[in-house]
Structure 1
Amino acid sequence: MKRILTYVKYIGLIGLIAFLFAFTSTRNEKRKIEGVEIEFIEEQNPYINELTVNKLLIQNQVGVTNVGKEILVLNNVEKGLDAHKMIEDSDVYLTVSGQLKARIKQRTPIARVNAVVPFYVDVTGNTMPLSDNYSAHVPLVSNVSEREVSEVFPLLRKIQEDEFLKKHVVSVYQNNIGNYLLGLRVYDFEVVFGKIESLNSKVKNFKAFYQKALKDKSLGKYKKVSLQFRNQVVCTIK
């Protein structure tokens, strides 16, 4: 008899827990979204702002603060955010208190292409539109079409990753025979990079030339510096 009573108590306890869980879940599902918090990660420049993200979170012309949890599909919200051309990735979730949180990672531009409709090239090699909120301080690329971005991207990525190049190079231009020319921030001589090949070797040679010429105080006398030829730097005097 005592054993049967123990089983009855055990079953009753399980039933009570299940009831409380179902009650809490139902109540939680019917709760309205209490507010929205947007966080931009990695301290990026503001190419997209909170107002734009809030607009993206609006569904059927109704703000998410008026939508019950039971009809809010977070995956769809994330897909809507990720489809924006300024956003690389988003993470949307609900807190226990009913607050909707969106963590936004923006795309990172590394160059601006001067086309009929200008655009950025991002760190992954894809194109992205210019921002109304912020203008990126990146090299200006000229005479390059959108279909040629994949060709010039290794050079742009090299400039972005190398602190020396990032500090000195402000422009990239493709001439009519397909060679790439670099414009510098301080000195007015033209750097003929040539084809997009042997990047590491060309950059190494240019750094060695620059440091020696800087030491000799001769950087101001050059008109053109060519890196096209294997293992050498060819200079033209003004």
Structure 2
Amino acid sequence: MRVNWNYIKFLGLLLTVIGLYGFADYRNKAKNVEDISIKFLGDNNLYLTEDAVNKLLIQNYGSVKNRAKEQVVLNTIETIISSNDMVKSAQVYLSVEGELISKIVQRKPIGRVEGVSKFYLDDMGKRMPLSRYHSARVPIITGKITGKSLEDAYVILDYVNKDNFLRKNVIGIHIEDEGKYQLKFRVENFVVNLGGVKNLDEKFKNFMAFYVKATKDKTLENYAVVSLEFDNQVVCTKI
């Protein structure tokens, strides 16, 4: 019987590789977590701190540093970090060197509600608590706060944030009633009666046409109210 030495060599090499991989994996799992690295992604990194994340982990998971890597449950740690009201998403993994790395995306507020309850409205239209570490410079929402009016306020702010001029100049939304919203501007003395949230594109195009002309004519200061409530019209009330 002829022996296939090439097959035996290949089998021996395969067993050696599997053995080395298993040994390396065993040694890797036996190592301890050497350090913890918390990285905040994006440009919205103001509402949560590294110390706050570390404290959250210690309170809900215990100390991670110097714990064996095989005892660290990454999904559980991700869930704990994501449970913080300031966190939008979290990704946790272990490096080869034994460093526990957590990459966190914080939530982004786009409006601040000033009513019986005070909170932010984030860029997903959800309620977000105020932060003890930073106060966001976002438009203030006042008036009759209801679930529906907040939904509409989010639609307005989402539109405003996509326009460079409006984003820089709109500083407030006052809710007179559901379907009746009033905008306040940073510099101008007048307020803008927006009405409801239908046809926002048309309403703001009409407003910008009015604003450009009134700026050119130097008559902006003559107006107390600018109404966009009527179809394809800008109705102004003088001081």
Partner of 1:33: 33
Deviation at 1:188, TM superposition (A): 1.4
With normalisation by structure 1, the TM-score equals: 0.93
The amino acid that maps onto 1:73 is: V
How far, CA to CA, are the matches of 1:199 and 1:122 in structure 2? Answer: 20
In structure 2, the partner of 1:48 is 48
Which amino acid in the other structure matches residue 57 of structure 1?
L
Q: SS at the partner of 2:65? A: helix
The whole-number CA distance in structure 1 between the counterparts of 2:11 and 2:223 is 90
Judge conservation of contact 1:87–1:104 (CA < 8 Å) in 2. Answer: yes
1:60 shift after superposition: 5.5
Unaligned runs of 5+ in 2: none
Match of 1:233 in 2: 234
Aligned mates of 2:144, 2:11 — CA distance in 1 = 74
> Cα 1:93–1:151, aligned 2, differ >3 Å: closer, same or farther?
same
Relative to structure 1, the CA distance from residue 22 to residue 146 in structure 2 (aligned partners, 3 Å threshold; closer, same or farther) is: farther
**CA distance in structure 2 between the aligned counterparts of 1:118 and 1:180, rounded to whole angstroms:** 19
Alpha-carbon distance in structure 1 between the residues aligned to 2:237 and 2:145: 30
Where structure 1 has 5 or more consecutive residues not aligned to the other structure, the ranges are none
Correspondence for 2:171: 170
User: Is 1:210 paired with 2:211?
Assistant: yes
For 2:96 and 2:85, locate their aligned partners in 1 and report how far apart those are by CA, in whole Å. 31
Tell me if the contact between 2:33 and 2:100 (Cα under 8 Å) persists in the aligned partners.
yes
- The RMSD of aligned alpha carbons is 1.8
Q: Distance in 2 between matches of 1:177 and 1:40?
A: 38
Question: How has the CA–CA distance of structure 1 residues 90 and 13 changed in structure 2, closer, same or farther, with 3 Å as cutoff?
Answer: same
Partner of 1:145: 145
Deviation at 1:12? 2.7
Deviation digits for residues 154-192 of structure 1 (CA, Å, limit 9, x no counterpart)? 111111221111111101001157511111100111111
Helix, strand or coil for the counterpart of 1:38?
Answer: strand
SS at match of 2:231: coil
Q: Which residue of 1 aligns with 2:198?
A: 197
1:47, distance to aligned residue in structure 2 (A): 0.9
Q: For residues 45 and 25 of structure 1, do their structure 2 counterparts lie closer, same or farther at Cα, with a shift above 3 Å needed?
A: closer
* Aligned partners of 1:113 and 1:119 also within 8 Å: yes
